[in-house]
Structure 1
Amino acid sequence: MDLPPSSYHDSLEELWDEEEEPEEVETMMKVVLSASHQYLDVFSKVKEEKLPPHRTCDHHIKLEGSLPPKGFIWPSSSSKGAPVLFVKKKDGGLCLCVYYHKLNAITRKNKYPVPLINQLLTALNFSAIFSKIYLCGAYNLLIIQEGDEHLTAFRTKYGSYEYLVIPFGLTNAPASFQNLVNDIFYYLLDIYAVVYLDEIMGFSKSEEEHVTHVSTVLSRLRANNLLSKASKCLSHVSSVDYLGYIVPSEDLKMDQQKVQQILNWPPPINLKALQSFLGFANFYRCFINNYTKKNSSLTSFIKKDSCFPLNGEDISQLHQLKEAFTTAPILLYPPLWRPMHPIIPWVLY
């Protein structure tokens, strides 16, 4: 049921802070209005600050070779704890990160699969309208299973603390979170929605059915107490960036911002810098014909454990590889009756 004008205005005030720019508010308004007034609570900043409820898939930390807990360790009073550091976010803020390297090393790995990107993109085949929804807080939307909280203890100069929700940097966090969203959207997956961790993509063939599809997605979020940030959402668009790709209705393209990063990448001065460049470039390898041949010299340089700086032949191949990204073709979706090759997708030259 739609809200009356006065209630609608009051509800909108929960969606943004006073400090946010007018452009951000306008973006939020577009998403909210397209979603219908009845789903305003899905974008509530007030609810975003509350602790999420316990779920059937609360995150459980199983230690390798561990015995059943004996109750000898009290939360927040352990003599051990992980160190912390701050990482700068894109918006200029700081993100608290806990270095869980030691804990992760002795934690049994959860084998729950995170979707392959090419499989998700195939589901968007021949869709015309898209909406992208980001979940607020991502891993923080899932509570740590009761009794495991003390394992997340970390130290600061103000004392020791432990998490009640999944923190970033904890092994198995992606598996637990993907399990959650797959359960919530089980009957929608690959029909008119795909979900990769905290990023939901709704897709439809027509504007009319897309309204219904988006409403169904939002109703599932509300029913499971999951919240979205309106300023990061896109609603009812014909082209959208998703998981590093530009997704129109019939083909795939590289994100030009990422291509520009490749072109502006300085010549690597050490092994780590070269590995970083090749790792970044490998993401778009499916767009480059004979990619392995084009970077063979650079790959061999790593295998041979050669000394830096790069020699003339390696520098030449580096420039040729960068040039290949400026002339790369777009990718076509394969016909629905023919499966896409896992490594070499269909290409339009």
Structure 2
Amino acid sequence: MMRYDVIIGRDILKHCGFKVDFENDKVTWDDVNVPMRPFPKTSNEFATNLYLSLHEDKIDDPLDHNDEVFLLQETTEHAERIEQERQRAMHSEGYRSKNILSSKYEFVDADTVAQTQKHLTAKQQSELSKLLKKYSRLFSGELGEYKDEKVHLIIDPKVKRPKSKTKPLPSLYGPKKFNESLQGRTRSTRPHRFYHLPKIGDILARRTNYAFFTKLDVSMQYYTFVLDNESKKLTTIATPFGTYRYLRLPMGISQSPDITQEIMEKVLHDLFEEVEVYIDDIGCFSTSWDKHMSLLDIVLSRLEDAGFTINPLKCEWGVKETDFLGHWLTPNGHKPWKKKVSAILAMQPPTNLKQLRSFLGLVTFYRDMWPRRSHTLSPLTNLLVTKVFNWGPKQQKSFQEMKAIVARDALLAYPDNSIPFDIETDASDYQLGAVIKQKGRPIASYSRKLNAAQRNYTTIEKELLSIVETFREYRDILLGGQINVYTDHKNLTHDMTKFTIQRVLRWRLLLDEFGATYHYKQGASNFIADALSRVPSSIPVGEEQETKPNDMQQA
């Protein structure tokens, strides 16, 4: 009894939906069958890979030896292999960072990869094949090791340092996937250096008028980074095979993306005029085929030297259009990825707040794409404020209207700082709206709701706030360019030094940084921005400001 945290009776298991089949020695829950211990029917490949990916920790073993190895001894051959790996790991310091995971994919011949690129000419396919053969180790599928330094997670000094006998975290395994809960460790650690992930919108805005684009996907990227000894203790987990520790950077820890992004930018630090990096996604952009081959030669060499591996069949080589970071890229602009649009259109009306948040999250990911988004979604976002799910005709209408907007094929042009930006802004009692254009082509659309305090602003303050918020949101695009702002409030086109309110004085400091020129445009002519800012008068007065999430980080 003392060796287990809890023993659950059959009545509770039945109440929770577990079906215990003693005749066939299995437990069924949520259409997943799990064999009873020590019934050795689990996949040898899964058990072996799990053992090889984790370092066994003998400090705190919640299971007895028979339970620990019951899944690994189905055949004599596998039992001998596991014992050999165990002995080598115990006596070889260098072995811990080699051959930890088996190949994630079969080796692919370079000629085969090149021939699958039907969009390339025969000459281009031949040159691509020669380049891939040059870096055969990079495409071998074997897990590499980042050679520069070991990755470490610093323990927060406010949190008690774990003792040598670190309490293991729970884990869950299935037929094809292994999961562990690292939430407790995430709360007790902090990044060794906070590192900002780039905004997806900024990445897309920089890539205009390219001729060739190659998308590289780093395989098993997190597992390339070896953990130091202190960090290994923080990743101790309990499994049916015993208690183990990660040797390499695991998924599920909040610091992992920061660490990965920092290292990737360090590897490709001097190539950012032609290369974009977002965690494990790398984009290479060139204006000619010869330049593209030279760029790929440098990038692949850097990745191979750093110990990374790439699955060539998951990459896109020398294309003009493809999906990247959740968007569909073309040389002339970008638009929502059809796969994500199809997912939105296929969604049924939500039946609870969780499903509603999922729908709003997908739509908000493309918030720059669709005008009147905030206006259209108001009946739905109001439900998040009240935290009471009450789906009625207004919500159903909003849901259908948003799906109709999503179904339209929106294409945003890439910004060009050599061309003036034309910004049309407007504000209503409840909304802010703006549209950014160049030569009449839309660059971005902006709209959001006013919070309770902002709804008390004067009309001119609301109009000015619309301009300020647009500049803040698209600062990286607008700063340094020639900007023309069109507003239907004539007072904003005069000398703004007459304003004496402290809030407006602070806004002026931001506006002066951009050096925009302001023009008066009647509301009837400024119909786009005006439409973005209009909402029904039935919006509750106590409604809070809509949260604007940052660009999403999984694609």
Superposition TM-score, scaled by structure 2 size? 0.53
Give 1:132 shift: 0.8
Q: Which amino acid aligns with 2:133?
A: H
Of 293-302 and 54-63, deviating more is 54-63
Q: Secondary structure at the match of 2:368?
A: helix
Q: Which amino acid aligns with 1:17?
A: E
Kindly indicate whether the alpha-carbon contact (under 8 Å) linking 1:34 and 1:235 is maintained by their aligned counterparts in 2.
no
Kindly indicate whether the alpha-carbon contact (under 8 Å) linking 2:217 and 2:280 is maintained by their aligned counterparts in 1.
yes
Distance 1:15 1:107, change over 3 A: closer
Name the structure 1 match of 2:153: 60
User: Distance between the aligned counterparts of 1:124 and 1:94, measured in 2?
Assistant: 38
Q: Which amino acid aligns with 2:224?
A: L
Matched, 1:241 2:319: no
Name the structure 1 match of 2:131: 35
Distance 1:179 1:29, change over 3 A: farther
Q: Which amino acid aligns with 2:203?
A: L
Distance 1:116 1:291, change over 3 A: same
Distance 1:37 1:344, change over 3 A: farther
User: Distance between the aligned counterparts of 1:104 and 1:184, measured in 2?
Assistant: 26
Give 1:225 shift: 1.4
Q: Secondary structure at the match of 1:323?
A: helix
* Number of equivalences: 316
Of the three residues 394, 401, 412, the one matched with 1:331 is: 412
User: Distance between the aligned counterparts of 1:273 and 1:246, measured in 2?
Assistant: 26
Kindly indicate whether the alpha-carbon contact (under 8 Å) linking 2:169 and 2:238 is maintained by their aligned counterparts in 1.
yes
Kindly indicate whether the alpha-carbon contact (under 8 Å) linking 2:147 and 2:307 is maintained by their aligned counterparts in 1.
no
Give 1:122 shift: 1.9
Of the three residues 144, 155, 169, the one matched with 1:82 is: 169
Name the structure 2 match of 1:44: 140
Matched, 1:187 2:257: no
Q: Which amino acid aligns with 2:148?
A: R
Give 1:150 shift: 1.1
Q: Which amino acid aligns with 2:416?
A: P
Kindly indicate whether the alpha-carbon contact (under 8 Å) linking 2:166 and 2:234 is maintained by their aligned counterparts in 1.
no
The CA deviation string for residues 265-298 of structure 1, in whole angstroms up to 9 with x for no partner, is 0110011111111011111121111211010110
Name the structure 2 match of 1:210: 292
Give 1:222 shift: 1.5
Matched, 1:125 2:214: no
Q: Which amino acid aligns with 1:63?
A: D
Name the structure 2 match of 1:165: 248
Matched, 1:97 2:193: no
Of the three residues 131, 140, 143, the one matched with 2:223 is: 140
User: Distance between the aligned counterparts of 1:139 and 1:323, measured in 2?
Assistant: 39
Larger RCO: 1 or 2 (CA < 8 Å, sep 6+): 1
Q: Secondary structure at the match of 2:309?
A: coil
Kindly indicate whether the alpha-carbon contact (under 8 Å) linking 1:28 and 1:230 is maintained by their aligned counterparts in 2.
no
Kindly indicate whether the alpha-carbon contact (under 8 Å) linking 1:28 and 1:231 is maintained by their aligned counterparts in 2.
no
Give 1:248 shift: 1.0
Of 31-40 and 95-104, deviating more is 31-40
Name the structure 2 match of 1:228: 310
Distance 1:307 1:239, change over 3 A: closer
User: Distance between the aligned counterparts of 1:28 and 1:96, measured in 2?
Assistant: 34
Larger radius of gyration: 2
User: Distance between the aligned counterparts of 1:34 and 1:244, measured in 2?
Assistant: 31
Distance 1:267 1:230, change over 3 A: same
User: Distance between the aligned counterparts of 2:294 and 2:420, measured in 1?
Assistant: 29
User: Distance between the aligned counterparts of 1:255 and 1:155, measured in 2?
Assistant: 40
Q: Secondary structure at the match of 1:297?
A: helix
User: Distance between the aligned counterparts of 1:63 and 1:28, measured in 2?
Assistant: 49
Of 32-41 and 166-175, deviating more is 32-41
Q: Secondary structure at the match of 1:133?
A: strand
Kindly indicate whether the alpha-carbon contact (under 8 Å) linking 2:172 and 2:179 is maintained by their aligned counterparts in 1.
yes
Distance 1:86 1:348, change over 3 A: farther
- The 5 A counterparts of 1:247-266 are 247-266=329-348
**Percent of aligned positions that are identical:** 24
Q: CA RMSD in A?
A: 2.8
Q: Secondary structure at the match of 2:190?
A: coil
Distance 1:243 1:86, change over 3 A: farther
Q: Secondary structure at the match of 1:130?
A: strand
Give 1:143 shift: 1.2
Give 1:262 shift: 0.7
Distance 1:28 1:296, change over 3 A: same
Q: Which amino acid aligns with 2:151?
A: D
Kindly indicate whether the alpha-carbon contact (under 8 Å) linking 1:298 and 1:317 is maintained by their aligned counterparts in 2.
yes
User: Distance between the aligned counterparts of 1:121 and 1:138, measured in 2?
Assistant: 23
Q: Secondary structure at the match of 1:253?
A: strand
Q: Which amino acid aligns with 1:234?
A: E
The CA deviation string for residues 220-240 of structure 1, in whole angstroms up to 9 with x for no partner, is 112211111112111111111
- The 5 A counterparts of 1:295-310 are 295-308=377-390, 310=391
User: Distance between the aligned counterparts of 2:259 and 2:420, measured in 1?
Assistant: 29
User: Distance between the aligned counterparts of 1:232 and 1:345, measured in 2?
Assistant: 35
User: Distance between the aligned counterparts of 1:273 and 1:180, measured in 2?
Assistant: 36
Q: Which amino acid aligns with 1:256?
A: K
Name the structure 1 match of 2:14: none
Name the structure 1 match of 2:397: 316
Give 1:305 shift: 2.3
Kindly indicate whether the alpha-carbon contact (under 8 Å) linking 1:97 and 1:168 is maintained by their aligned counterparts in 2.
no
User: Distance between the aligned counterparts of 2:351 and 2:194, measured in 1?
Assistant: 37
Superposition TM-score, scaled by structure 1 size? 0.82
Matched, 1:111 2:194: yes
